[in-house]
Structure 1
Amino acid sequence: MFTGRIIIEPITAERIAALVGGTVEGKPETPVSGIAPIENAADGQLSFIVKPAFDEWLEKSPAAVLLVRPDSPQAPGRCLIRVENPYLAFVRCARELFGVGEPRHSGIHPSAVIADGAKVAGGVSIGAFSVIHAGVTIAAGTIIGSHTVIHENTRIAERCQIGDRVTIHDHCELGEEVIVQSGTVIGSDGFGYVKDGTRYYKIPHIGRVVLEERVEIGANCAIDRGTFGETRICRGTKLDNLIHVAHNVRIGENTVIAAQTGISGSTRIGNEVTIAGQVGFVGHIEVGDRSVFGAQAGVTKSIPAGITVSGYPAKPHFQARREEAALRRAPELLKRVKKLEQEISRLREG
């Protein structure tokens, strides 16, 4: 079983505290040579405790150093680092001290195909059998995986990470530090047809997709290009795996969307929206800032800012819960109604 990541040279608790802005309790010279979640942490490793329900691990964990809340209980004989957000501190340590999740630059593989007219800056890595078409611009520090295809006149800014088997169609634009995970397609045609009699005629999609800075797209997503304008995902927004974003959709800043959600064409989603898994949105509606959507909600109309909805059709969460509770009582209520009908029938006969 994998229990954590090991480094060669130990790091002291004092250095970790300096990185995360924490306060050491115990021996500041305590060495740390790896990281692990609290259940798997071993001697010499760094771990963290966020929720009070896990405070029992203060005594029983063999970890060398623990990142804990300011109000966590005392633990005599342990080396603790008290910090406002232990989870965030652990993530910072994982990335900056242990190199977890950091991109690995490997240069341009000999089998990669880069067309004449493509502009690839220094410090770019391109994996085996990837194809970069003419007119593409790739800025410094970007990493592209294997078997990835980037089509004509696409622009990719600095320090992007593009996984294996990704397809980015023509005229798309990726801002700084965008992450696109494996298997995703950016800029595919939208689902648009005109019917004439018994035949469907395909609508040409000549728009583009824009992913602003620090957007992350999970694995096996499909982000369709605009029909004539653009599909835009604004800065800081994060998409999970297996999400479909249709043509001309706009998703605001710092929104998070869980897996298997589908957003129909021309819908506008605001800033800092939270969308759970398997939510479906009809097209041409607007979703307000900071709204929240429960799993499997079916959104059939525009939603104002700042409310939480769930169910199908999506409605305010408290209303959906009341309706669900009433439905659970329905079988018993039907039995009572039947008994009452029988009683009334006997009274009439008597």
Structure 2
Amino acid sequence: MNNIFKYNTSNIDKNYNFFISGVSTALNPLDNTLIFVNKDKDEYLERLVGIEKAVIILLFSIEKEKISKIESSNLIIFSKNPRLEYAKLLYKILKETGYYNGQNYYLRDGYYYGENLKLGKNIIIEPFVRIGNNVEIGDNTIIKSGTIINNNVKIGRNCYIRENSVIGGEGFGIETDIDGKTYRIPHIGGVEIGNNVEVGALTTVCSGTIEKTIVKDYVKIDDHVHVAHNVILEEGVLIVAGTVIGGSTKIGKNSRTAPNTAIRNGLKIGSNVVMGMSARVNENLPDNIIVTNEKADTLENIKKYLKYKKQIIEKLGD
């Protein structure tokens, strides 16, 4: 994402003097951005060919001849842990450019808003709402009291955002160094919500790390739901109360969850999938299936079933 900040690379290395204005991914690299590559894969390095005036963090073990086509026009930083180096450097840049503490808020009709707010027609924003910078809200959308909309969020037309929800809050991305110290990875990708979407009360839709978290048209999200960073919810998805969706998960069209569904990060869920009550989803799911967990049972029965299961597996192994 570009135009988040303006930072001169001479502050990183005095031998360089160009500006970067945002971040981008190794799979979709952009000029004048901060990029990290956590793997020694030719695919990623090939995508960087032609990129100019970027700060690129690479694994220190990468052979120098592999980067001959990118080092002349970019600032290259080598690291044993590019993701950790990226987290530290981006935090430093955001702090020095005032991203965290340089925001101005203005009061209108009982709610607060930041810079570059774009509002459509017939919008209702109740008192005690707080809106960050670079936010766009479409026609006929209702934002209920207590909602927090952070930076870099786009909300479409005819949406209904319920009380005390948080849209675009930073996701939970943590990197640990060799001494066990933990560092938060800044999430500045923002959120993009389509048209005719509902977000329930006390629900969080986290900002993407680098690229956007995306909620497409006609998605309905119940109360008390957590949608992590970089999730993609395709058209018509229904998310019921208590659901937790791990980061970078993609859920296909018209799929739905039941109460207390938990979905592991990084999964691909097909279209028209039903995830039943308290389903623990730990692997990718194809289209048009129903998954669920068994009902609650006594501890004695659970131990007995586990014993039978073990015996069956041992017999099959023979």
Asked if the contact 1:127/1:147 (under 8 Å) is kept, the reply is no
Q: Pairwise mapping of residues 213-228 of structure 1 onto structure 2 (< 5 A)?
A: 213-228=195-210
Q: Does 1:298 align with 2:280?
A: yes
**Shift of the alpha carbon at 1:331?**
6.0
The equivalent position to 2:125 in structure 1, one of 144, 154, 177, is 144
With over 3 angstroms needed to count, the CA separation of the structure-2 counterparts of 1:330 and 1:170, relative to structure 1, is closer
Which of 167, 186, 201 in structure 1 is aligned with 2:183? Answer: 201
What is the aligned partner in structure 2 of residue 185 from structure 1?
166
Distance 1:329 1:282 in 2: 24
Q: Note the C-alpha offset of 1:324.
A: 7.6
2:225 pairs, out of 243, 261, 267, with 243
Aligned to 2:135: 154
Asked whether the equivalents of residues 141 and 158 of structure 1 are also in contact (C-alpha less than 8 Å), the reply is yes
Query: Which of 156, 165, 174 lines up with 2:146 in the alignment?
Result: 165
Q: CA contact under 8 A between 1:207 and 1:227: conserved in structure 2?
A: yes
For residues 247 and 291 of structure 2, the distance between their equivalents in structure 1, rounded to whole angstroms, comes to 21
Q: 1:147 to 1:264 in 2, by over 3 A?
A: same
Structure 2 residue 226 is matched with structure 1 residue 279: no
Alpha-carbon separation, structure 1, partners of 2:125 and 2:191: 18
Query: Are the structure 2 counterparts of residues 329 and 286 from structure 1 closer, same or farther at C-alpha, using a change threshold of 3 Å?
Result: closer
Q: Is the 8 A contact 2:152 2:188 kept in 1?
A: no
Q: Which amino acid aligns with 1:231?
A: T
Q: What TM-score, normalized by structure 2, do the two folds share?
A: 0.60
Inter-partner Cα distance in structure 2 for 1:176 and 1:156: 7
Structure 1 residues 127 and 261: alpha-carbon distance in aligned structure 2, compared to 1, 3 A threshold: farther
Shift of the 207–328 alpha-carbon distance from structure 1 to 2, 3 Å rule, reads same
Q: Give, in whole Å, the separation in 1 of the partners of 2:144 and 2:242.
A: 20
3-state DSSP of counterpart to 1:223: strand
**Runs ≥4 in structure 1, deviation > 2 angstroms?**
327-332
TM-score norm. by structure 1 comes to 0.54
Distance 1:148 1:310, change over 3 A: same
Q: Give 1:252 shift.
A: 0.7
Counterparts of 2:181 and 2:304, CA distance in 1: 48
CA distance in 2, matches of 1:135, 1:260: 34
Cα RMSD for the two superposed structures? 2.4
Seen in structure 2, the aligned counterparts of structure 1 residues 324 and 151 have a Cα distance that, compared at 3 Å, is: same
Offset at residue 139 of structure 1 (A): 0.9
Q: How does 1:1-350 map to 2 (within 5 A)?
A: 114=106, 127-128=109-110, 130-196=111-177, 197-311=179-293
Aligned residues: 201
How much does 1:254 deviate?
0.7
- Helix, strand or coil at the partner of 2:122: coil
| Kept in 2: contact 1:166–1:185 (CA 8 A) | yes
Return the offset for 1:134: 1.6
1:254-282 deviation line (CA, Å, top 9, x unaligned)? 11111010000000000000210100000
Q: 1:199 to 1:331 in 2, by over 3 A?
A: closer
Q: Give the gaps of 5 or more residues in structure 1.
A: 1-112, 116-125, 312-319, 335-350
Instruction: Indicate the residue corresponding to 2:22 in structure 1.
Output: none
Instruction: Please state how far the C-alpha of 1:114 moved relative to its aligned partner.
Output: 3.8
Q: Which runs of 5+ in 2 are unaligned?
A: 1-104, 308-318
Which structure: larger Rg?
A: 1
